[in-house]
């Protein structure tokens, strides 16, 4: 497998396969094969090669959180009292189910997280009772997302 710093060479057929699957990961291989004009076996071989290279990191179903009642998305910048608090804070953030992403950042914050809550009251409880109680967290800065206007992967 290539290291994360190495890039893989993909040809036009690989790109076409990837575009199909990025639009719909459940699209039948034979349907893709017919569209591209190669055999289903060739598609499977290419997909195995792309998986082995690390380019394809898996596939997943995308859940619509609004159907489950989660309507408030927020980004929270976390200020830590000292840099050494980072591993402890991240370990505690992993225990909070509302935390979807956690990033070690440059700039004012030590950590930037993405959280998903049912509503603003739920967000306030997560902030006050969970995140701000973590040892090493000195303060937080919260930005509520009003609407996600772009959602995409890297272009192939």
Q: What is the pLDDT along the chain (156 residues), one digit of tens a residue?
A: 455 556 788 999 999 999 999 999 999 999 999 999 999 999 999 999 999 999 998 888 889 999 999 999 999 999 999 989 999 999 999 999 999 999 999 999 999 999 999 999 999 999 999 999 999 999 999 999 999 999 988 888
Going from the N-terminus, what domains does the chain have, and what CATH number goes with each?
12-53 (1.10.10.10), 65-145 (3.30.70.920)
**Other Cβ atoms within 10 Å of 109 Cβ, number:** 19
The pTM for the full model equals 0.83
Please enumerate, as own/partner, the contacts of 113-117 that have beta carbons within 8 Å and a separation of 24 or more: 113/75, 113/76, 113/78, 114/73, 114/74, 114/75, 115/73, 115/74, 115/75, 115/76, 116/65, 116/70, 116/72, 116/73, 117/70, 117/72, 117/74
């Amino acid at each position: 497998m290539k290291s994360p710093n190495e890039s893989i060479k993909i040809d036009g057929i690989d790109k076409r396969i990837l575009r199909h699957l990025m639009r719909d990961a459940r699209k039948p291989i034979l349907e893709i094969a017919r569209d591209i004009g190669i055999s289903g076996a060739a598609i499977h071989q290419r997909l195995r090669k792309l998986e082995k290279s690390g380019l394809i990191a898996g596939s997943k179903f995308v859940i619509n959180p609004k159907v489950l009642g989660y309507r408030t998305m927020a980004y929270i910048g976390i200020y830590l009292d000292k840099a050494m608090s980072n591993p402890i804070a991240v370990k505690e953030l992993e225990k909070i189910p509302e935390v979807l992403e956690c990033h070690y950042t440059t700039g004012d914050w030590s950590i930037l997280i993405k959280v998903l809550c049912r509503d603003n009251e739920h967000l306030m409880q997560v902030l006050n009772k969970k995140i701000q109680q973590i040892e090493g967290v000195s303060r937080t800065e919260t930005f509520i997302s009003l609407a996600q206007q772009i959602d995409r992967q890297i272009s192939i």
